[in-house]
Amino acid sequence: MPVIGLTFKEIEGKRGEEPIKGDLKANSSPVIKDVKEVDVPSLKKKALSIHFDFNTKYEPNVGNVRIGGELLFLTEKNKSVLDLWEKDKKLPDDVSITILNYLFRKCLLKVANIAEELQLPLPLAMPKISPKDKKA
């Protein structure tokens, strides 16, 4: 069940007027807005077109970044996925986990670039290198 395509259709970033003070929290959340079946002529198959929003909010009310887009997902069980979406606006767990992990990987990298331009903190922790303790 691979992701076969990702298109960012909207990217919006805002930073508030207030200076950044104290502890900030960046909360990121993907939201699936719609799921449809589409033809992929190059593969001679049908795939799921998944429209999403990926929102990162900096609290307390310092700024936000929103990315809207479409992801193409290939699976052999289009009908059951679409039926569940139409009924409950949910995706099966295995499909949902794959898609959400993919969106976090791709979108957080894009949000990090935008956050840097807006002079907001990175939305994910970067590794830090510290010196080893010297033993006598």
Vertex 98, ends 41 and 112: CA angle to 5°?
Answer: 100
Average pLDDT of each block of 10 consecutive residues along the chain (136 residues)? 90 86 86 94 92 93 94 92 93 93 94 92 79 72
Residue with tokens 């139409």: 86
70 in a structural domain: yes
- Count of domains for the chain: 1
86 in a structural domain: yes
Q: Is the Cβ–Cβ distance between 84 and 78 less than 8 Å? A: no
What pLDDT sits at residue 106?
94
124 in a structural domain: no
Q: Tell me, what DSSP letter sits at residue 89?
A: S
85 in a structural domain: yes
CATH code of the domain in which 60 resides: 3.10.420
Residue with tokens 């791709």: 106
> Going along 2-135, which residue ranges are E strands?
3-15, 25-40, 45-59, 63-73
What pLDDT sits at residue 5?
92
Residue type, 92: P
87 in a structural domain: yes
What pLDDT sits at residue 31?
96
74 in a structural domain: yes
The whole domain housing 100 covers 3-117
130 in a structural domain: no
